């Protein structure tokens, strides 16, 4: 029996060695955190010392894009590597579909223990939901259907909501650390996704964080902005100076929580072999925007609505600080982690690419364009894709909708494609050139062409001067839309 004992012992040693060398992966995302709202990108007021340090020590994306200019759709692209319109996640509050293959499915198959924390917004988080984090590949979750403030309510593993006292970003990081500690005892690599509720409105902050912004320029108090009232849950109008003070306090608290996580990883000897990623889910909301240096805000397909912070820290693989101008997107996460974990790509159309060559400093250009599209299909409802009872949310939030403090979700079947389905604001970025199309009430669509390298503010329209390039990009965009709409019919799930 000695040869068998030796073989088994060797297998155990090999298995332990593989578990030890597999990189851990932590993916973080802020809520409504635009590109400019970081110290390292030159914001005049907001303080983000931890993100600034990550930018100075890791890989900084100068041009990282959310998959969509609003939250639920971007989260769908983040999870699946596919444009959200492929799965009917047209706008905030639209779920994705149970047949989608997520990052958690991929990483679980590779032997990772997977957990989700914070905002989900891809369907209800309750256990009965067919698109809860648990049904979509995560082993554990402490999640909210939508966004949250101080003293948030979360559902643990699909159970009834529980109130957690304290600052929400710190609560989530503390819960993640507990999960990592449990996973390490089982000698498994961990994969965690933490989607913050900050800095989405309505805003609230700790006294010490608010005090950092007591002296914002008086000019911001002259402008009034609309947002949710923490007292009533309805809409109110307030001086922007007050709003910015609270918004920036939330960003600083979120930044501090990332610092808590980094210190924990370093203290536990995990920092070197952990890929730590951070991005935003769309551009800055209009109530918080200073309209610099990019055109547009959340909800618009100009860069101010889709360009977000993007950072990777992974000392074992990125030993020296680097910055890249190569454009990347939340849709790239799934192909990248498939490569990292040695898993095959899902056999369906993907919109993202593998960024591992970029992480290793070997990518010189992006291999395919980036596409953005706010289609109008969501305005016409058909047969529900998921039982509406299963789409009802349970976790309360401050902002009321239809008198309710919870959120419900929608997704509808779309078996056929017609010409109007191609409409809606849309854009393609191919290299440094960006084509933007908006429908008008009368006449032909408005077509704009920008050179993002020379004109990052998208202020100089080149479409009339370069009609051939405009037509070429229009054709690429239309062909891509046709692929997306074919996916929307459910064709990908039958392959």
Going from the N-terminus, what domains does the chain have, and what CATH number goes with each? 13-365 (3.40.720.10), 377-385+394-494 (3.30.1120.10)
What CA–CA distance (Å, rounded) separates 315 from 320? 8
Question: Mean pLDDT throughout 228-254?
Answer: 97
Question: Mean pLDDT throughout 459-473?
Answer: 98
Q: Looking at residue 495, what is its pLDDT? A: 65
Confidence of residue 379 (pLDDT cuts 50, 70, 90): low
pTM beyond 0.85: the answer is yes
Question: Mean pLDDT throughout 325-337?
Answer: 98
Q: Per residue in 415-434, pLDDT tens?
A: 999 999 999 999 999 999 99
What CA–CA distance (Å, rounded) separates 490 from 405? 32
Reference 54, options 292, 259, 216; nearest CA is: 259
Confidence of residue 13 (pLDDT cuts 50, 70, 90): very low
Confidence of residue 494 (pLDDT cuts 50, 70, 90): confident
Confidence of residue 380 (pLDDT cuts 50, 70, 90): low
Question: Mean pLDDT throughout 258-271?
Answer: 98
Q: Per residue in 238-248, pLDDT tens?
A: 999 999 999 99
List beta partners, residue 329.
65
pLDDT at 6 over 70: no
Q: Looking at residue 381, what is its pLDDT? A: 77
pLDDT at 491 over 90: yes
Question: Mean pLDDT throughout 131-149?
Answer: 98
Mean pLDDT (the chain, rounded): 95
Confidence of residue 3 (pLDDT cuts 50, 70, 90): very low
pLDDT at 297 over 60: yes
């Amino acid at each position: 029996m000695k040869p068998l004992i030796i073989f088994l012992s060797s297998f155990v040693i090999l298995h332990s060695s593989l578990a030890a060398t597999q990189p851990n992966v932590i993916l973080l995302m802020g809520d409504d955190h635009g590109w400019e709202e970081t110290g390292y990108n030159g914001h005049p007021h907001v303080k983000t010392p931890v993100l600034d340090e990550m930018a100075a020590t890791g890989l900084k994306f100068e041009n990282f894009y959310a998959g969509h200019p609003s939250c639920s759709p971007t989260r769908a692209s983040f999870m699946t590597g596919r444009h959200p319109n492929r799965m009917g996640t047209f706008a905030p509050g639209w779920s994705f579909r149970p047949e989608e293959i997520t990052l958690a499915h991929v990483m679980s198959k590779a032997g990772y223990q997977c957990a989700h924390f914070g905002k989900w917004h891809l369907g209800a988080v309750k256990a009965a939901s067919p698109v809860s984090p648990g049904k979509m590949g995560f082993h554990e979750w402490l999640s909210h259907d939508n966004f949250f403030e101080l003293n948030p309510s979360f559902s643990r593993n699909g159970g009834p909501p529980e109130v957690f006292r304290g600052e929400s970003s710190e609560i989530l990081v503390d819960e993640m650390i507990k999960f990592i500690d449990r996973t390490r005892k089982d000698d498994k690599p961990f994969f965690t996704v933490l989607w913050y509720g900050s800095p989405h409105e309505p805003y609230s902050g700790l006294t010490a964080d608010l005090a950092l912004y007591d002296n914002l320029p008086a000019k911001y108090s002259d402008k009034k902005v609309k947002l949710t009232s923490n007292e009533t849950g309805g809409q109110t109008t307030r001086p922007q100076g007050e709003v910015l003070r609270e918004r920036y306090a939330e960003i600083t608290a979120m930044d501090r929580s990332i610092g808590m996580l980094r210190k924990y990883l370093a203290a536990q000897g995990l920092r070197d072999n952990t890929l730590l990623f951070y991005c935003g889910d769309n551009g800055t909301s209009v109530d918080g925007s200073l309209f610099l240096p990019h055109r547009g805000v959340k909800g618009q397909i100009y860069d101010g609505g889709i360009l977000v912070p993007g950072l990777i820290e992974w000392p074992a693989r990125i030993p020296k600080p680097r910055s890249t101008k190569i454009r990347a997107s939340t849709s790239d996460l799934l192909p990248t982690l498939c490569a990292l974990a040695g898993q095959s790509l899902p056999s369906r159309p993907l919109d993202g690419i593998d960024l591992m060559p970029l992480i290793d400093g070997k990518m010189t250009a992006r291999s395919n364009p980036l596409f953005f599209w706010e289609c109008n299909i969501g305005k016409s409802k058909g047969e529900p894709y998921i039982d509406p009872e299963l789409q009802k949310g349970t976790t309360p939030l401050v902002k009321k909708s239809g008198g309710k403090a919870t959120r419900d979700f929608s997704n509808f079947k779309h078996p056929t494609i017609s010409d109007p389905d191609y409409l809606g604001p849309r854009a393609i970025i191919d290299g440094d050139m960006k084509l933007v199309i908006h429908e008008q009430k009368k006449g032909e669509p408005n077509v704009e062409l920008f050179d993002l390298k020379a004109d990052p503010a998208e202020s100089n329209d080149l479409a009339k001067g370069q009609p051939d390039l405009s037509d070429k990009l229009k054709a690429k965009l239309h062909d891509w839309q046709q692929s997306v709409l074919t996916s929307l019919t459910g064709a990908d799930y039958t392959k």
